[in-house]
Amino acid sequence: MKSLKGRVAVITGGGSGFGRELAILCAREEMPVVLADVDVSGMEETLSLLAPGTTSISQRCDVSRASDVDELADITYRTFGECGVLFNNAGVGAAGPAWMATLDDWTWTIGVNLMGVVHGIRGLYSAHDRTGPRMPRRQHSVSGRPCGSGRFVSLLREQIRRRWLHGMSVS
């Protein structure tokens, strides 16, 4: 990917944390931004932090539900005609030791952290099959190992250093 400018970034978990930082970085790269999250007010706050003039939309989306992600894909392709970069970033975790987690905690965690990624990949790729435009060229995961554009990894590390770690090293 030689230029990120104009490529559409779809970011799950865009209402806070890494998702918010990814949205800010994408906006700086002049990328249209699609935010998805269950936290609507968090997404509104993220949108308010984007560079002026950033083209953006937000969609309430529970990534553990395939139908929500399918709707996100439909809106993305209808609005922009592509998903240039998919950040399957949404993630959750139950507090406390794993052996103390309830079955509901496990179901929730697996639903978001595993099936959310599955739904994201399947939803965005099947949307491509229906509409025909370019499919995502890179698959990124902040909660796992970053893949794809080294430029984003570098930008994200720098953003983390400045905003959260006050200059400490990040690898």
Mean of the per-residue pLDDT values of the chain: 82
Distance CA 4, CA 84 (A): 8
Percent of the chain, pLDDT > 90? Answer: 63
pLDDT 10s digits, 118-152: 999 999 877 656 555 444 544 444 444 444 445 55
pLDDT at 90: 94
The correct CATH number of 9-163 out of 3.30.1360.120, 3.40.50.720, 3.30.350.10, 3.40.630.30 is 3.40.50.720
Per-residue pLDDT for 8 more than 70? yes
pLDDT at 171: 43
pLDDT at 131: 54
